[in-house]
């Protein structure tokens, strides 16, 4: 799509810049209005963008071509400008003035063709000045003159118009009709307009985007008129005494931070690339992780980003803040510390239609899906603030979308797919999953359902999870490119990686393992933090089984009750599904049961919710451990490290081993039997015989712990296991990221992707 | 072209024909129409009259017509360039610059005994014009003010004239007279050999002006505007100044500096055609300049015959009031 983009542009005269680091964009059909006090430098920006003034530094791109490299004629066919200054003419008719607009199209002698004349008349008609065609221009009123000059610009048949205070000398009637003409030009002729205005009412009426330049010559607000115009800011911008504006304009009283943040974002701009999928589990998370690793390998500072995660699994950062695990995994791939800014919004489903909303690591409350749908646009400033934080530490930000961008019922308030891409103007890669079939329909269908602006953001397609003979696929790829008009940036093979999965939809629940030792994880409806068990997957001898039927329990060598986002509801579910008695029976045989977090709470005598943190009420637990839990409103979260204190039963050998993990729960669990032994440090877990409970997530992550546990289970079963290829979880992951990056490099056109991002990759990390 | 412009063209052509005839017939010996037709048709140079007509009057009126046209056109181009209605080769000092270089060349040619060809004169004049024009442009860049520009042009003119006087003072007696006459402005030195150079140069200048007309039509609204509709400003400015310098140079080389035609004629033409259409203006200014110079030359020769006045004297008498009226009218309009 055609657009004007300024990149780190500095404008001024005689090599002295007045305004620096201007990053603006003017899209086809949109109106961008510059406002600011006299002398702020608005005209200088306009002249530079119009190509009438050389940029002091930086670049202006017009439909992807650099402005200064265009011939004057080519430039004039694309950009028409209307600068201030009176047009003194003598004996020139209106039509002759408008004919000036045909300059870039006529031949050497400037002879007008019939076509040119027609265009001139049409232009005059558009502005409503056709009947003045043969009048002397000099004798028109200012309002009429300005209309004719606009017709002149229209006759230039430009893609963009740049106007400097076009309404300044007009009376209110002319002002309004002028502004409305511009509006319809933008809409109907798809012309992108950049202009300066002094009249705030007019800006309010016409602007799709308002850019404010203050007295110091800095762009300090970019946003919709609604976001920008509030009494307090306008007063400070124009040096008006506080309170004076009140009553003269109907502007908001409160300051909207979105516009401020957007202005900061534009300066200096990181480079973005966004990965969206045609459906959940199309492989977005891994593609993002792979890109993060590739950019890291190429020397860039990278950060992953996903505006909103809907997941039960959360991670606790060093600051004790909560974020989605997928971004933690991607941060690892990027070689940076995870931060909540990588995932400003985390939704944890608590019931079928409600979720807990966590914004920038802090709980904002519980909301029903419908309420959240209305509320979420208010989170735009938080999202932008997070992106701004990330920009400080990253050259390239790789953004992950969520689900599908083509959910046409949800598109209007989107903040996570195309809405997100628009917020930061990111190019988009669309990933389709060939393994599940219908990849062409997925990709083409998704593109079909996007509107034109969104479609233009999709720069490349990726076919993911391909297995088989690529030559058979190739003709399809050609047709896909032909039909979509978007290049296929890569066909990625099906990769078997053990990196953490994003959410509960993951297919691993259905996986069956034939490993000798079977560990059963109860598949709670509100299962949370199930990445606790990924560590088991590095041991060939141990298979993880997710259990939702009583018949499956019997064959397990260890049963684990995982964390839950809704402990009471899940406890009730255990009872209803019959799993409660199955677990009790299993435990009564002296077989090992471990409860983690919510699972630990369920092992106790009862769980009560006097404050209604979940659904209120009280529920009797499994009664395997003499502990009681009271849910409190306060969320407890921290990273912890400690040692196993005095594990009982078969785990006795684990005493003294160190663990590292984190706690996150909204309840206090009290031991009601002083004879109970401590399982983990600081009262975070207790045990009795072969029942152990703890609040610590990631308890088994360390190599020492998992090996010990595996040996004990093997011993119990009376089998031998080698455990010699067990690698430290961390270094194993590192290796996997490298593998992922290598595979993606092989099957993807990375040059093309660097091109989308606007980075010239020289493997030296220069942007 | 509009009806009015066509009418003006027609009148100008008729006027020129009348003036041509009048110029042919009047002079030291008045010639009747019938005799004139005989001489012209027979191409006879047998008698004195034939020589007067063929070798003096005809070249002289061709020169007056073409150089007058060139002068007016040059004035029009300069007015467009500086967006200044009182610009012209004479007031901007461009003619004086040309004069200075021609004077230098003349003096040198006598000193070093090489004969001066017409072509060398033209080249010297052209170089002088360009230098002066360049100086004016530099000033115009610095100060965007009509009056200051004109004052600067006049000053440059004075400096060049003073330098010319200086050179004349040190020149040999024999060529002082020659130089003096020339520097006053006169079509008296007309000859067929000069005409052979004048016609092609003026025609080239004229064609070039037509080519520039597209640019002028937008340049008159200012550089920013011209640039915004896609003009290559630098190239256009260079072309325009070269063409106008060439046109004024050819005039200065053969007739010396002639005042006011460059300013007054385009203005008169504009006010009678009531158009700013560039092509109309180029053609009409040229014809108007031709008519003006034919008339002024006629008057210069006849008014105090047998004494011949310098053309500049006449052009100033007619031109200066026109310029003054024009300035007053502009003042009123504002």
Q: What is the CATH number of the domain that holds A528?
A: 3.40.50.880
Please write the tens of the pLDDT for every residue from B185-243: 777 777 888 898 899 999 999 999 999 999 999 888 888 889 899 898 888 988 998 99
Helix axes B173-184, B94-111, angle to 10 degrees: 160
In terms of residues, how long is chain B? 334
Paired sense of beta strands A31-35 and A192-196, if any = parallel
Q: Is the dihedral of CA B200, B202, B203, B209 positive or negative?
A: positive
Distance in angstroms (rounded) separating the CA atoms of residues A205 and A222: 16
**Nearest C-alpha in A relative to B209:** A109
Please write the tens of the pLDDT for every residue from B52-83: 788 888 888 899 999 999 999 999 999 888 88
With beta carbons less than 8 A apart as the criterion, state whether A720 and A316 touch. no
Q: What percent of chain A has pLDDT over 70?
A: 94
**Nearest C-alpha in B relative to A96:** B277
B207 touches chain A (CB under 8 A): no
- Between A72-76, A318-322, A505-509, the lowest mean confidence (pLDDT) is in A505-509
Q: What is the CATH number of the domain that holds A68?
A: 3.40.50.300
A104 touches chain B (CB under 8 A): yes
Pair A134, A175 in one domain: yes
Q: How confident is the model at residue B116 (pLDDT cuts 50, 70, 90)?
A: low
pLDDT for A433 beyond 60: yes
Pair A297, A443 in one domain: yes
With beta carbons less than 8 A apart as the criterion, state whether A185 and A193 touch. yes
Please write the tens of the pLDDT for every residue from A94-132: 999 999 999 999 888 888 899 999 999 999 999 988 999
Residues in A closer than 8 angstroms to B232, CB to CB, are 71-72
The reported pLDDT for the residue numbered A417 is 93
Residue A757 belongs to a domain = no
pLDDT for A301 beyond 60: yes
Residue A416 belongs to a domain = yes
Distance in angstroms (rounded) separating the CA atoms of residues A711 and A516: 12
Residue A473 belongs to a domain = yes
The reported pLDDT for the residue numbered B10 is 94
- Between A169-178, A597-606, B113-122, the lowest mean confidence (pLDDT) is in B113-122
**Nearest C-alpha in A relative to B221:** A87
What Cα–Cα distance (Å) separates residue A582 from each residue in A57, A625, A687? 73, 16, 20
From A696, A717, A738, give the residue that closes a domain.
A717
Pair A525, A459 in one domain: no
The better pLDDT of the pair A90, A708 is held by: A708
C-beta atoms of B227 and A52 within 8 A: yes
Once rounded to an integer, what is the mean pLDDT over residues B32-41? 76
Q: Is the dihedral of CA A191, A197, A202, A207 positive or negative?
A: positive
Residue A353 belongs to a domain = no
C-beta atoms of B222 and A85 within 8 A: yes
Please write the tens of the pLDDT for every residue from A604-642: 998 988 887 777 788 899 999 999 998 887 777 788 888
Residues in A closer than 8 angstroms to B233, CB to CB, are 72
Q: How many domains does chain A have?
A: 3
Which of B211, B222, B276 lies at the smallest CB-CB distance from A90? Answer: B276
The better pLDDT of the pair A482, B35 is held by: A482
Pair A486, A553 in one domain: no
The reported pLDDT for the residue numbered A440 is 93
What is the nearest CA distance from A69 to chain B, expressed in angstroms?
A: 13
B230 touches chain A (CB under 8 A): yes
Measured distance between the N- and C-terminal CA atoms of chain A, rounded to whole angstroms: 24
Mutate to test the interface with A, among B222, B229, B231, B278 (most CBs of A within 10 A): B229
B227 touches chain A (CB under 8 A): yes
Residue A758 belongs to a domain = no
Pair A597, A689 in one domain: yes
- Each residue of A133-153: b (16+ CB within 10 Å) or e? beeebbebeebbbbbbbbbbb
Q: What is the H or E stretch that residue A315 is in?
A: strand A314-316
B211 touches chain A (CB under 8 A): yes
Question: SS3 for A50-95, per residue?
Answer: CCCCCCCEEEEEECCEEHHHCCHHHHHHHEEEECCCCCCCCCCEHH
The reported pLDDT for the residue numbered A267 is 62
Q: Is A685 helix (H, G, I), strand (E, B) or coil?
A: strand
Q: Comparing C-alpha atoms, which of A258, A264, A246 is closest to residue A379?
A: A258
**Nearest C-alpha in B relative to A86:** B221
What Cα–Cα distance (Å) separates residue B156 from each residue in A260, B98, B103, B138, B152? 57, 11, 16, 12, 6
C-beta atoms of A110 and B214 within 8 A: yes
Distance in angstroms (rounded) separating the CA atoms of residues A66 and A125: 33
What Cα–Cα distance (Å) separates residue A256 from each residue in A225, A252, A259, A343, A506? 11, 9, 7, 22, 39
Close Cβ partners of A230 (under 8 Å, ≥ 6 residues apart) = A251, A252, A253, A254, A255, A256
Residue A534 belongs to a domain = yes
Q: What percent of chain A has pLDDT over 90?
A: 31
- Between A177-191, A313-327, A480-494, A495-509, the lowest mean confidence (pLDDT) is in A495-509
Residues in B closer than 8 angstroms to A47, CB to CB, are 224
Would you please indicate which residues of A are annotated as catalytic (active-site) residues?
597, 697
The better pLDDT of the pair B34, A193 is held by: A193
In this structure, which long-range contacts are made by residues A169-176, counting pairs with CB atoms below 8 Å and at least 24 apart in sequence?
A: A169/A142, A169/A143, A170/A142, A170/A143, A170/A146, A171/A143, A173/A143, A174/A142, A174/A143, A174/A146, A174/A147, A175/A199, A175/A202, A176/A205
Where do we find the tokens 């209007």?
A412
What Cα–Cα distance (Å) separates residue A479 from each residue in A163, A472, A475, A490? 43, 13, 6, 15
C-beta atoms of A103 and B232 within 8 A: no
Pair A275, A259 in one domain: no
**Nearest C-alpha in A relative to B232:** A72
Pair A288, A178 in one domain: no
pTM: 0.62
Pair A538, A431 in one domain: no
pLDDT for A502 beyond 50: no
The better pLDDT of the pair B256, A80 is held by: A80
Residues in B closer than 8 angstroms to A73, CB to CB, are 230
Estimate to the nearest angstrom the gap between the alpha carbon of A539 and the chain centroid.
35
Domain that holds residue A470: 271-309+327-339+380-493
Pair A149, A287 in one domain: no
A623: which 2 tokens? 């009664």
Residue A140 belongs to a domain = yes
Please write the tens of the pLDDT for every residue from A569-604: 889 999 988 899 999 999 999 899 999 999 999 999
Q: Domains of chain B (ranges plus CATH)?
A: 3-333 (1.10.3470.10)
Close Cβ partners of A184 (under 8 Å, ≥ 6 residues apart) = none
pLDDT for A765 beyond 60: no
Pair A481, A552 in one domain: no
Q: How confident is the model at residue A505 (pLDDT cuts 50, 70, 90)?
A: very low
Q: Which residues pair with A431 in a beta bridge?
A: A277, A462
Q: What is the H or E stretch that residue A542 is in?
A: strand A542-547
Residue A10 belongs to a domain = yes
Pair A412, A544 in one domain: no
What is the nearest CA distance from B148 to chain A, expressed in angstroms?
A: 20
Pair A237, A288 in one domain: no
């Amino acid at each position: 799509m055609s657009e004007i983009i300024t990149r780190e542009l500095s404008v001024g005269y005689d090599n002295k810049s007045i305004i620096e680091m201007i990053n603006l964009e003017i899209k086809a059909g949109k109106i961008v209005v510059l406002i600011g006090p006299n002398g702020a430098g608005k005209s200088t920006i306009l002249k530079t963008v119009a190509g009438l003034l050389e940029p002091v530094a930086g670049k202006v791109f017009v439909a992807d071509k650099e402005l200064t490299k265009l011939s004057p004629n080519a430039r004039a066919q694309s950009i028409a400008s209307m600068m201030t200054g009176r047009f003194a003419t003598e004996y020139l008719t209106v039509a002759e003035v408008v004919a000036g607009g045909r300059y870039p199209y006529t031949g050497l002698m400037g002879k007008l063709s019939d076509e040119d004349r027609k265009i001139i008349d049409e232009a005059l008609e558009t502005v409503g000045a056709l009947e003045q065609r043969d009048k002397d221009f000099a004798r028109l009123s200012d309002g009429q003159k300005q209309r004719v000059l606009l017709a002149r610009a229209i006759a230039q048949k430009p893609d963009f118009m740049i106007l400097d205070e076009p309404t300044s000398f007009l009376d209110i009637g002319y002002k309004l009709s002028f502004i409305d003409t511009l509006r319809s030009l933008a809409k109907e002729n798809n012309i992108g307009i950049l202009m300066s205005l002094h009249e705030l009412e007019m800006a309010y009426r016409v602007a799709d985007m308002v850019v404010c330049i203050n007295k110091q010559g800095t762009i300090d607000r970019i946003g919709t008129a609604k976001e920008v115009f509030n009494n307090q800011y306008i007063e400070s911008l124009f040096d008006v005494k506080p309170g004076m504006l009140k009553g003269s304009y109907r502007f908001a009283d409160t300051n909207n931070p979105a516009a401020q943040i957007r202005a900061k974002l534009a300066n200096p701009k990181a480079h973005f690339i966004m990965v969206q999928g045609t459906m959940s589990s199309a492989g977005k998370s891994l593609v993002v992780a792979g890109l993060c690793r590739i950019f890291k390998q190429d020397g860039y500072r990278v950060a992953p980003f996903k505006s909103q995660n809907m997941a039960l699994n959360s991670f606790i950062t060093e600051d004790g803040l909560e974020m989605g695990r997928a971004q933690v995994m991607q941060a690892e791939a990027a070689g940076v510390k995870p931060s909540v800014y990588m995932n400003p919004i985390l939704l944890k489903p608590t019931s079928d239609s409600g979720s807990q909303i966590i914004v920038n690591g802090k709980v904002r409350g519980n909301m029903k899906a419908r309420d959240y749908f209305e509320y979420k646009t208010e989170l735009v400033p938080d999202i932008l603030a997070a992106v701004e934080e990330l920009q400080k530490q990253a050259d390239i930000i790789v953004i992950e979308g969520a689900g599908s961008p083509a959910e046409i019922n949800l598109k209007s308030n989107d903040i996570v797919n195309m809405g997100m891409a628009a917020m930061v103007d990111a190019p988009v890669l669309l990933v389709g999953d060939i393994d599940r079939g219908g990849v062409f329909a997925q990709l083409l269908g998704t593109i079909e359902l996007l509107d034109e602006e969104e479609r233009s953001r999709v720069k490349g397609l990726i076919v993911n999870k391909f297995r088989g003979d690529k030559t058979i696929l190739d003709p399809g790829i050609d047709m896909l490119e032909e039909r979509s008009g978007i290049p296929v940036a890569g066909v990625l093979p099906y990769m078997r990686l053990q990196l953490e999965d994003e959410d509960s939809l993951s297919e691993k629940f259905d996986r069956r393992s034939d490993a000798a030792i079977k560990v059963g994880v109860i598949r709670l409806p509100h299962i949370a933090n199930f990445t606790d068990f990924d560590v088991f997957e590095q041991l060939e001898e141990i298979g993880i089984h997710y259990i939702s039927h009583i018949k499956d329990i019997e064959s397990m060598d260890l049963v684990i009750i995982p964390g839950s986002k809704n402990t009471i509801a899940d406890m009730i579910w255990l009872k209803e599904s019959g799993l409660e008695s199955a677990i009790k029976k299993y435990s009564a045989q002296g077989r090992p049961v471990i409860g983690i977090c919510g699972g630990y709470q369920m092992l106790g005598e009862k769980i009560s919710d006097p404050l209604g943190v979940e659904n209120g009420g009280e529920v009797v637990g499994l009664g395997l451990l003499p502990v009681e839990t009271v849910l409190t409103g306060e969320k407890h979260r921290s990273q912890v490290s400690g040692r196993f204190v005095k594990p009982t039963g078969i785990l006795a050998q684990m005493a003294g081993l160190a663990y590292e993990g984190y706690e996150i729960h909204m309840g206090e669990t009290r031991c009601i039997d002083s004879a109970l032994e401590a399982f983990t440090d600081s009262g975070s877990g207790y045990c009795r015989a072969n029942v152990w409970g703890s609040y610590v997530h990631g308890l088994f992550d360390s190599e020492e712990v998992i090996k010990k546990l595996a040996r004990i289970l093997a011993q119990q079963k009376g089998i031998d296991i080698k455990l010699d290829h067990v690698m430290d979880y961390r270094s194993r992951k590192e290796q996997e990221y490298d593998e992922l990056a290598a595979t993606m490099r092989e099957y993807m056109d990375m040059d093309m992707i660097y091109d989308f991002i606007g980075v010239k990759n020289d493997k030296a990390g220069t942007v | 072209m509009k009806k009015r412009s066509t009418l003006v063209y027609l009148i100008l052509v008729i006027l020129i024909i009348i003036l041509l005839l009048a110029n042919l017939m009047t002079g030291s010996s008045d010639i009747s129409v019938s005799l004139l037709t005989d001489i012209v048709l027979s191409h006879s140079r047998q008698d004195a009259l034939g020589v007067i007509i063929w070798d003096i009057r005809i070249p002289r009126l061709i020169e007056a017509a073409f150089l007058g046209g060139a002068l007016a056109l040059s004035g029009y181009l300069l007015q467009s360039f500086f967006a200044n209605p009182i610009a012209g080769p004479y007031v901007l000092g461009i003619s004086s610059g040309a004069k200075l270089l021609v004077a230098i060349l003349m003096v040198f040619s006598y000193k070093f005994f090489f004969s001066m060809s017409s072509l060398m004169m033209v080249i010297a004049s052209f170089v002088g014009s360009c230098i002066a024009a360049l100086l004016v442009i530099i000033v115009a860049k610095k100060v965007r003010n009509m009056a200051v520009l004109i004052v600067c042009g006049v000053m440059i003119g004075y400096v060049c004239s003073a330098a010319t006087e200086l050179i004349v003072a040190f020149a040999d007696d024999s060529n002082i007279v020659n130089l003096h006459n020339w520097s006053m402005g006169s079509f008296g030195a007309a000859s067929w050999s000069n005409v052979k150079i004048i016609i092609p140069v003026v025609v080239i200048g004229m064609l070039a002006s037509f080519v520039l007309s597209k640019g002028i039509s937008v340049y008159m609204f200012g550089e920013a505007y011209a640039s915004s509709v896609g003009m290559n400003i630098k190239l256009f400015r260079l072309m325009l100044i070269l063409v106008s310098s060439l046109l004024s140079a050819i005039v200065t080389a053969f007739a010396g500096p002639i005042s006011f035609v460059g300013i007054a004629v385009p203005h008169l033409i504009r006010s009678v055609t009531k158009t700013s259409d560039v092509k109309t203006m180029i053609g009409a200014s040229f014809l108007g300049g031709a008519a003006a110079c034919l008339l002024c030359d006629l008057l210069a020769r006849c008014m105090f015959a047998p004494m011949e006045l310098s053309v500049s004297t006449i052009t100033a008498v007619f031109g200066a009031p026109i310029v003054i009226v024009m300035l007053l009218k502009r003042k009123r309009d504002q």
